Amino acid sequence: MYTLSIAKRFRGPAESANGGYFAGSLAAHAGQTVTVRLLRPPPLEQPLEVCTLTDGTLAVMFAGERIATAQPARLAVNAPPAPQYFEAVEASRRYAGFQHHRFPTCFVCGTQRPRGDGMRIFAGALPERALVAAPWVPDASLDQGDGKVRPEFMSAALDCPGFYAVSADDRMMLLGEITAHVNRLAHVGERCTVIGWALESEGRKHGAGTAVFGEDGDLCASARALWIEPKPA
């Protein structure tokens, strides 16, 4: 068992962790690709106990309650071709979060996070490609010490674009599950392109694919996520 704590900087909603960053933190500990299922919003600045079950599943506990699990997995998603970097720049001008943002201080996509603090990945629509896209140039605060981005930040980059791919009408959704796989770490200062696209949809459950491409167009990381609309009050 070990203890994990999510700093307030890495929030999604104001009082809980960004799901992609949280999942990436678990994957970094596991040292492999995992499917992370979120059962409760992961709290910030609190000791979270992570224990390994007999089947190899990681269970995350807080105050005696299981809030997440992580199981070894293989990612099954095929990313579409990457748009050009400047296509992503143009798409980001259409980012829905500029008009209205449910979580404006989100570490990944929040409009109130300054450069060098938030990741500022603003994925806007590319209608002709049926996806959303954003430019992303990792800053020095994401450096793992060798000029490359830490794995948990690669996972974080794969989170929010999926929401904007499946919630064009800005309906409320929360991340329920994500499987992220990193092929290579992006470099600090590299001009990356991040995309998201819709997969299957059934009732309140919506699947999304996301990917990060490097400056040369190579696939750095990809993910498959499940977004869930909360039940009506």
Backbone phi, psi, residue 59, to 5°: -115, 130
**Same fold for the pair 2-72 and 85-228:** yes
The pLDDT, as a whole number, for residue 5 is 97
What is the mean pLDDT of the segment spanning 153-176?
93
Find the helix or strand (DSSP H, E) in which 180 lies. Answer: strand 174-182
- Which position has the token pair 């800005």? 170
Is 85-228 assigned to CATH 3.10.129.10? yes
Q: Partners of 208 in the beta sheet?
A: 198, 225
Alpha-carbon span 126 to 130, nearest angstrom: 6
State how far the Cα of 69 lies from the Cα of 40, in Å rounded to an integer: 10
23-32, 168-177, 191-200: the lowest-pLDDT one: 168-177
- Is the pLDDT score of 141 beyond 80? yes
Distance between CA atoms of residues 88 and 130, nearest Å: 13
Q: What is the reported pLDDT for 18? A: 98
pLDDT 10s digits, 55-72 = 989 999 999 999 999 999
175 Cβ contact partners less than 8 Å away, ≥ 6 residues apart: 12, 19, 20, 38, 159, 162, 163, 225, 226, 227, 228
pLDDT above 80 for 183: yes
Residue 103: Cβ within 10 Å count: 20
The domain segmentation of the chain, as residue ranges, is: 2-72, 85-228
For the chain, give the mean pLDDT: 96
Q: What distance in Å separates the CA atoms of residue 180 and residue 45, rounded to the nearest whole number?
A: 24
Q: Say if domain 2-72 classifies as CATH 3.90.1150.10.
A: no
The predicted pLDDT at position 169 comes to: 76
pTM: 0.96
